[in-house]
């Protein structure tokens, strides 16, 4: 599960960072927002992949990952509401889908938190 989480974050981060200018126009969202989303996704992916590669994972690091996922999901939904009047349907779909994906991962990781302590 941590590998999926990390690879998903890293891939999303690279894609958004490579195309944030283009996506900004297509999504009708601020360039700075999309750049920030790309950086956060890449950073998050690196953190998750680092955890995935460890044989033993301290519980606080797993709980931090879950909290980060929940926080990110909340931010995605908040941005969708914040930009509902101005963003294109593609931009809103991206924000809501990312929120659902990351929120779903948080739920799965919470339910499996004790299993995630060891590789």
pLDDT of amino acid 4: 87
pLDDT of amino acid 87: 98
DSSP E strands in the chain: the ranges are none
pLDDT of 31-44, one tens digit each? 999 999 999 999 99
- Give Cβ neighbours of residue 25 (< 8 Å, ≥ 6 apart): none
Between 31-52 and 2-27, two packed helices, what is the crossing angle to 10 degrees? Answer: 170
Domain that residue 37 falls in: 2-117
pTM of the model: 0.92
Q: Structural domain tally of the chain? A: 1
How far, in Å, CA of 38 to CA of 57, rounded?
Answer: 26
Report the chain's mean pLDDT, rounded to a whole number. Answer: 95
CA-to-CA separations, 106 to 71, 73, 84, in angstroms, rounded:
10, 9, 25
């Amino acid at each position: 599960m941590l590998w999926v989480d990390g690879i998903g974050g890293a891939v999303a981060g690279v894609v958004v960072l490579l195309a944030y200018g283009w996506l900004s126009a297509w999504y009708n969202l601020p360039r700075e927002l999309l750049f920030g989303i790309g950086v956060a996704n890449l950073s998050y992916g690196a953190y998750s992949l680092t955890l995935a590669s460890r044989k033993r994972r301290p519980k606080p690091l797993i709980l931090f990952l879950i909290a980060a996922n929940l926080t990110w999901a909340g931010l995605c939904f908040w941005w969708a509401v914040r930009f509902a009047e101005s963003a294109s349907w593609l931009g809103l779909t991206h924000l809501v889908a990312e929120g659902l994906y990351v929120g779903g991962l948080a739920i799965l990781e919470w339910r499996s938190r004790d299993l995630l302590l060891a590789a």
